[in-house]
Amino acid sequence: MHPRDQTIFALSSGRPPSAIALVRVSGPQARRVLTSLAGKLPAPRQASRRLLHDAAGQPIDDAVVLWFPGPASATGEDVAEFHVHGGRAVLATLFNTISIIPNTRAAEPGEFTRRAFENGKLDLTEAEGLDDLIHADTDRQRRQALRQLQGLLGHRARDWRERIIEASALIEAGIDFSDEGDVPAELLAPAVDAIKTLHDEITKVLAAQGHSERLRDGLVVAIAGEPNVGKSTLMNQLARREVAIVSPHAGTTRDVIEVQLDLDGYPVTMIDTAGIRETDDPVEQEGVRRARARADDADLVLWLVEGERAADPDAVRLLRKSGEGDRPEGPVWIVRNKIDLGAAGPRGEFAISASRGDGIAELVDALVKFASDFFETTEGALVTRARQRDLLSQALNSLRRSLELVEEGEELAAEELRAAAHALGRLLGRVDVEDVLGAIFQKFCIGK
């Protein structure tokens, strides 16, 4: 039997032990699984309390069960749900009882969602939105993922694809009636107008994306500076816990330390780097190399200086010197530490005491403002992944080429329109996407 024809089951809630655990079963044997464990089949989509029994007739647990006959279910197949007490022994017995029923097996990561996709319950953009929603750490990530799950991009892409096919049909009809005098011209004009409108709409969507893809991964902020200026202490202040070793000895941090923060709903990865300086210590040299590499990739660098000392331009230059001699894209903020010792910096610099917490609130406010400006275009964004952007760009380029070629020959323009429709079909996951399905769904958790 093909794996897609087998009935799958998995724990769809958190790891045990827990108060309640949800076990889902999907496939042609779901009815048999439910009746074998719970007896009489409950009414569709109505919760029913049942005493579950194993294959030997011994009780497993007092549970709540639900029955969702396909295709009116989340996966489009027959689905059974068991809401049981979340003890390990309960789940182990339940899984063992289900697994001995013929043609049932444990689900692979993302298999429930993949079956929903294959049965037309959601398109690929909605599946990606579901994955993003599961992994969302902040409220703004959640909102962006929910827009995808609700199918906003998918709805637009389906509409665009249908209109492209309509325009293509007009052009091909003109080809078929090329000997009918002015018929081709009458068909070609509305097709060209439709293509221009589509080109403008997709152009606007792509132009409005800004940093929406980055919202999935978060803003990267690197804390850098010379050794022993308080970088690790600042990291611990921002994280509100000890994540970095604080020591009076220079060169304590030899590697890059990362912590994930939620700043007013914006995801931020804060990086504590090794002290930037010229050194003969090979271990410290590697730490400096890694610090420079991460600072080069950071969206913002907080450069710490100690007390009243000026920022060393040679050290900042060393930070900005990557392997190819490129400069970092993100700005560098000068943060003057240890103001409790009487330090005072020039206007425009941040003054803090990482040990006492002075000035930290103002620095955090500035970081929130920076994140807000960085992600300002994401609230209405439709495109959140590189795959989506690339396929929309392919469709846009095909539409542009069709407009350029329509005067040279309708056949060439029609071929470009077919390419545009194919790209949007791949975006939705309806044509030629088998090669990307595994890469997408294997990132899901088991049971989803």
Report the binding-site residues.
Answer: 24, 81, 121, 228-233, 247-253, 272-275, 448
Residues 6+ apart with CB under 8 A from 304: 223, 224, 225, 226, 229, 230, 231, 234, 335, 336, 337
Q: Please give the Cα distance from 416 to 398 (Å, whole number).
A: 5
Q: Please give the Cα distance from 151 to 144 (Å, whole number).
A: 11
| Nearest in space to 105 (alpha carbons), one of 39, 200, 30 | 30
Peptide bond into 59 cis (omega under 30): no
**SS3 label, residue 49:** strand
Token representation of residue 144: 């962006």
| Nearest in space to 156 (alpha carbons), one of 390, 441, 392, 387 | 392
| Nearest in space to 378 (alpha carbons), one of 211, 220, 137, 129 | 211
Q: Please give the Cα distance from 239 to 269 (Å, whole number).
A: 10
Q: Please give the Cα distance from 446 to 448 (Å, whole number).
A: 6
Strands (E), 129-253: 219-225
Q: Please give the Cα distance from 152 to 146 (Å, whole number).
A: 9
> What is the DSSP secondary structure assignment for residue 8, as one 8-state letter?
E
Q: Please give the Cα distance from 93 to 89 (Å, whole number).
A: 6
Annotated binding site for GTP: 228-233, 247-253, 272-275
Beta strands 257-263 and 350-351 are: unpaired
Q: Please give the Cα distance from 50 to 194 (Å, whole number).
A: 58
Annotated binding site for (6S)-5-formyl-5,6,7,8-tetrahydrofolate: 24, 81, 121, 448
**SS3 label, residue 427:** helix
Q: Could you tell me the CA-to-CA distances from 75 to 60, 71, 117, 393, 447 in Å, in that order? A: 27, 8, 8, 31, 12
Residue 298 burial (CB < 10 Å; 0-12/13-18/19+)? buried
Annotated binding site for Mg(2+): 232, 253
Q: Could you tell me the CA-to-CA distances from 419 to 28, 173, 205, 211, 415 in Å, in that order? A: 38, 18, 19, 28, 6
Peptide bond into 17 cis (omega under 30): yes
> What is the DSSP secondary structure assignment for residue 339, as one 8-state letter?
G
Residues 6+ apart with CB under 8 A from 436: 387
> What is the DSSP secondary structure assignment for residue 273, as one 8-state letter?
P
